Amino acid sequence: MPMPPHEIICYAPGCGKPAVFKIAARWSDGVTRELKTYSLSCADCRDVLFDQAMAKKGTCRLTTGETLSEPEVFDLVRGRRDHDLMGGPKPNQPG
Ligand SMILES: [Zn+2]
């Protein structure tokens, strides 16, 4: 089975599986908002990489006015852009 040309590989050392999750936190300086990506992970490594993201978050220095949310897990499989993901996981809605 041929691999897609833009296959993204899990960040965990030695894993090598396709990434299906993005672990990122929402960063803002009050004007600009963006996602700060910590890791891309496969399903197996998600918890490990999420823990690492939490640890990194604790060491991240923010200047006055900057805010950084807790790391969240985003769906990478659907190829949605960061801006589509800014709202985070959405509850199931009818229709
Ligand atoms: Zn992995």
Q: What is the chain's pLDDT, residue by residue, as a tens digit (95 residues)? A: 565 567 789 999 999 999 999 999 999 999 999 999 999 999 999 999 999 999 988 887 888 999 999 999 998 866 555 555 555 444 555 54
Spatial separation of the C-alpha atoms in residues 2 and 94, rounded to whole Å: 37
Domains of the chain, residue spans = 1-76
Q: Indicate the residue type of 32.
A: T
| Cα 45 to ligand 1 centre (Å) | 4
Q: What is the DSSP letter of 78?
A: T
Spatial separation of the C-alpha atoms in residues 52 and 93, rounded to whole Å: 32
Strand partners, 74: 22
| Cα 11 to ligand 1 centre (Å) | 7
The pTM assigned to this predicted structure is 0.73
* Predicted local confidence at residue 13, as pLDDT: 94
